[in-house]
Amino acid sequence: MTASSAPLLKTRLVVYFLAFAAAIVSIGAVFHAQHETGISKAATQAGVSKLTPGVTVYIGTSDVWNAGIAEGIANLLLGATSGLAILALLFSSRFPAFLRAGMLPLLLVLWLLSTVAVLVTSVITTVFVTTRQAKVEAFLPNGTQMPDNLVQTFSKQLGMSPVYTTFGYLKFMSIAPWFAFLFALLSTILTVVAWRSSAATSAESEVAERKAAAVEAGEGDAGSAEAINDEKREI
């Protein structure tokens, strides 16, 4: 099957490209959030050190950190799947016959895996960002932990909030993958439709070939019978 004859070629190309772009944006959002989180922690530590020299601040964000890593991996899988799907559409005519035959089922499996992965990680990230906050602890030079009320006082003086929703880069990290999921789901549906269309076309081709072979065989038998009758008449 050539690229021009592939089912839903233009529609699939557009949706696959959008899925690829959304995956890249989501991965970028994760990296940006991790980077900005590090900067925010460093700025907080510097601000606390000015107010109370020697105090060490610990800001625990392992929940959104791990959720972001999982989200990035899921979108990496989506990006690889959409990239492979685009290449398969554009250059399928150059693939060996056995690869062309198994490409759509393979892509369907990859689309299903990446769609589920993006959905699960998006739900986890969204829940963490919208319902949780960073765990902030402060320690004196001798290692004694400061009371939470003093930590909250320092946070207010520095204008810092531990609530995740107050940080735009974390909210963006939780929103971006939902667009990736949308295009991944559309890509999965289109791949299913294309697979069924391709299977139906292949079945029709096989039926047509069998009919043609049967017609040729029938014509051959008729020709042989006529030849035998001619020989009998000559005798």
220, part of any domain: no
Helix axis angle, 148-158 to 9-51, nearest 10°:
110
The pLDDT of residue 144 is: 85
pLDDT in tens, the chain (235 residues): 444 456 778 899 999 999 999 999 999 999 999 999 999 888 888 887 887 788 888 889 999 999 999 999 999 999 999 999 999 888 876 665 546 666 788 899 999 999 999 999 999 999 999 999 998 888 888 888 888 887 787 778 777 888 999 999 999 999 999 999 999 999 999 999 987 876 555 544 555 455 655 556 665 555 554 555 555 555 5
Lookup: tokens for 154? 């320092």
211, part of any domain: no
210, part of any domain: no
Cβ contact 37:61 at 8 Å: yes
92, part of any domain: yes
107, part of any domain: yes
226, part of any domain: no
Which three-class secondary structure state does DSSP give residue 199?
Answer: helix
The pLDDT of residue 62 is: 92
216, part of any domain: no
The pLDDT of residue 203 is: 45
The pLDDT of residue 105 is: 86
Helix axis angle, 168-234 to 62-91, nearest 10°:
30
Look up the domain containing 52 and give its range. 3-200
174, part of any domain: yes
The pLDDT of residue 11 is: 92
Domain count, the chain: 1
Cβ contact 39:46 at 8 Å: no
Which three-class secondary structure state does DSSP give residue 138?
Answer: strand
The pLDDT of residue 216 is: 64
